[in-house]
Structure 1
Amino acid sequence: MPVILAIESSCDDTSASVCVDGKVLSNVIANQSIHEAYGGVVPELASRVHQQNIVPAVQQAFAKAKVSKNDVDAVAFTRGPGLLGSLLVGVSFAKAFALAKNVPIIEVNHMQAHVLAHFIGDNKPSFPFLCLTVSGGHTQIVLVKDYFDMEVVGQTLDDAAGEALDKTSKILGLPYPGGPLIDRNARLGNREAYYFPEPQIPGFDFSFSGLKTSILYFIRDNVAQNPKFTEENINDICASVEYRIATILLNKLKKAALHYGVKDIALAGGVSANTGLRLGTKEMCEQMGWNCFIPEMQYCTDNAGMIAIAGYYKYLKGEFADQGVAPLARMPI
């Protein structure tokens, strides 16, 4: 009955989790509000706040799980991808804790962990399945053959879907983080109010740079005619943008599912918390007779719960790292 402490610090959220025999008992996430003043994550500030948050987060994780630090059998941590300074805080803490307690460490690929978040609860997909992993930095369609046998069959050629949402929020003058605000406003708008083009990219790959440009010019031209255009139509604009991004993602996902003959469809990553994308995925699966899997909200954004479950399956395989392991800003799935 392995007890695993997990650490996640790839960007601006400091998270700690305790997993006992494959059951995630706690998932503590400490957010960083300091970046709001800058309209985005400042790497140096993120690293410093991680140092302040990591010990309290771990203490809370133990308390919520009702587990002692002396019971830990291994420490799992995010090795990459992510911001190097942020990763360094989590990796250093994991190595130091494991060294003090004389337990092994387990390196985890952040993107693999997003996929494996589907194995935290009781409703688990069956292999093979397709997972659409969407975040601020990644947009991928992953063919998942086993826990750590994953193949990226489609990905963005330029910008990620989450980045397109963030840039749209800036164009609209919304404060950081803009993704949740676009989601909130979209719920009040008409998704068919405005038309934005869908990129014609072959295969299962994505492109969002052209869409961002289209949105920028759309706002610029309409504001030139009516300075209050954005303010007066914010809900419809958000709904139309969100709908287009969701259809771009789901059209490719549907195409890939038909190609590979897969009927278990999963959604993961920070953007999987978006209401429009979640509903669209469920509707598509219902229409096609496919099984839909979407993690709980707390396991969609960056969190240590998904690192813990990934670490658990690696523990069972005996895949441990050594104390010389270093963080990686780029790390293929």
Structure 2
Amino acid sequence: MKVLGIETSCDETGVAIYETGEGAGRLLGHCLHSQVDLHAAYGGVVPELASRDHIRRLPLLLERLLRTTALRMTDIDAIAYTAGPGLAGALLVGASVAESLGLARGVPVLPVHHLEGHLLSPLLAADPPVFPFVALLVSGGHTQLMRVRGVGDYALLGESVDDAAGEAFDKTAKLLGLGYPGGPQLARLAEQGDASRFRLPRPMLHSGDLDFSFSGLKTAVLNVVSGADWQPAWTADLAAAFQEAVVDVLCAKALGALKKAGLKTLVVAGGVGANRRLREVLDAAVGGRGGRVYYPEPELCTDNGAMIAFAGALRLAAGEVRGTPPAVRIHPRWPLTELCPPRAARA
């Protein structure tokens, strides 16, 4: 079975085709367009511009995907699309295209949770993890720890009570005068800095639970740059100190989640999962306790169609069938816990 995946939740347009079969399936191909250049002039994502660009790019990407995989739409057996969470207008573009193609072709169409796509994306790697494991989801809008027993069997262990880690990276980058997208620029600058110059707080590090908070850390950076003795030459050092604080908290909470779940396998997914310092610290900490950390392939860390096609394929393999009649349904706000089994939403 060949499953077409469509991702349009925010500022990246992604399409992919995943083929299931006896034994392991395989990703036949994927195409991605980033809107970074489009939004750079505004210092952040402009929802209306994002939606319009998805409309322009999606047909072209689909055409390129079919050409590079030597397939036709008649070869597609099912379609999966990101139904949420995300920007309402952007989600509507992908949902409308998916439902229209499904109706025209008479094939199943499945709405997929964006975070479930991220959570399962490390399974696409050449050396994938096996269930059960703890998942650390770190993206621009979400920071969560989940216990994962299988597809659709998730339990929330902890989450951010305010800013997500990626959001904190972006906001702090703006405070430091860095361009858009701020998070990756801050991470690159941090590699040149001395983190020991500034001592920043580690919010909720000793809270006794597995929740996160990063808004106070962002405020601490603001206090430094607003101080009378602040010098722009220290920007790289402050970036390094900020990154180190975030990494320390993420690592400590991830280790706590592994202990609580009684597991040794950690899966890290989402855009912040590509951060080199985070990977370095997590690998050392988890490995030192006899465990292992798994990540998506680098090209699949950000939003992409491959993770949506894969999640849809796994859902279909588990027997999920989309009801009729077809309808365009999106969920701009869609907690991942709604996919959890009863009484397992919060472990």
With normalisation by structure 1, the TM-score equals 0.95
The reply on whether 1:7 has 2:16 as its aligned counterpart is no
The one-letter amino acid of 2:172's match is T
The reply on whether 1:219 has 2:222 as its aligned counterpart is no
The one-letter amino acid of 1:217's match is N
The one-letter amino acid of 1:191's match is A
Distance 2:68 2:280 in 1: 32
With normalisation by structure 2, the TM-score equals 0.92
The reply on whether 1:182 has 2:183 as its aligned counterpart is no
The reply on whether 1:89 has 2:93 as its aligned counterpart is yes
2:196 partner SS: coil
1:127 corresponds in structure 2 to: 131
1:328 to 309, 312, 331: 331
Distance 1:235 1:148 in 2: 42
Q: Which shifted more, 58-67 or 71-80? A: 58-67
| Alpha-carbon contact 2:79-2:98 (below 8 Å) kept | yes
Residue 64 and residue 281 in structure 1: after superposition, are their counterparts in 2 closer, same or farther (change >3 A)?
farther
Distance 1:259 1:319 in 2: 31
The one-letter amino acid of 1:182's match is L
1:30 corresponds in structure 2 to: 33
User: Identity percentage over the alignment?
Assistant: 40
Give the CA RMSD over aligned residues: 1.2
| Alpha-carbon contact 1:107-1:320 (below 8 Å) kept | no
The reply on whether 1:300 has 2:298 as its aligned counterpart is no
Matches for 1:74-153 after TM superposition, within 5 Å: 74-153=78-157
Distance 1:184 1:58 in 2: 33
| Alpha-carbon contact 1:204-1:255 (below 8 Å) kept | yes
Q: Aligned-pair distance for 1:25?
A: 1.8
| Alpha-carbon contact 1:25-1:64 (below 8 Å) kept | no
Distance 2:117 2:202 in 1: 30
The reply on whether 1:194 has 2:194 as its aligned counterpart is no
2:57 corresponds in structure 1 to: 53
1:225 partner SS: coil
> Where in structure 1 do 4 or more consecutive aligned residues deviate above 6 Å?
none
2:287 corresponds in structure 1 to: 286
Matches for 1:57-72 after TM superposition, within 5 Å: 57-72=61-76
Q: Which residues of structure 2 form unaligned runs of 5+?
A: 337-347
2:339 corresponds in structure 1 to: none
Q: Which shifted more, 190-199 or 69-78? A: 190-199
Aligned residues: 327
The one-letter amino acid of 2:242's match is V
Distance 2:319 2:58 in 1: 26
Q: Aligned-pair distance for 1:191?
A: 2.5
Q: Aligned-pair distance for 1:65?
A: 2.4
1:95 partner SS: helix
The reply on whether 1:244 has 2:250 as its aligned counterpart is no
The one-letter amino acid of 2:281's match is G
2:173 to 169, 173, 178: 169
2:41 partner SS: helix
The one-letter amino acid of 2:40's match is E
Q: Aligned-pair distance for 1:325?
A: 4.2
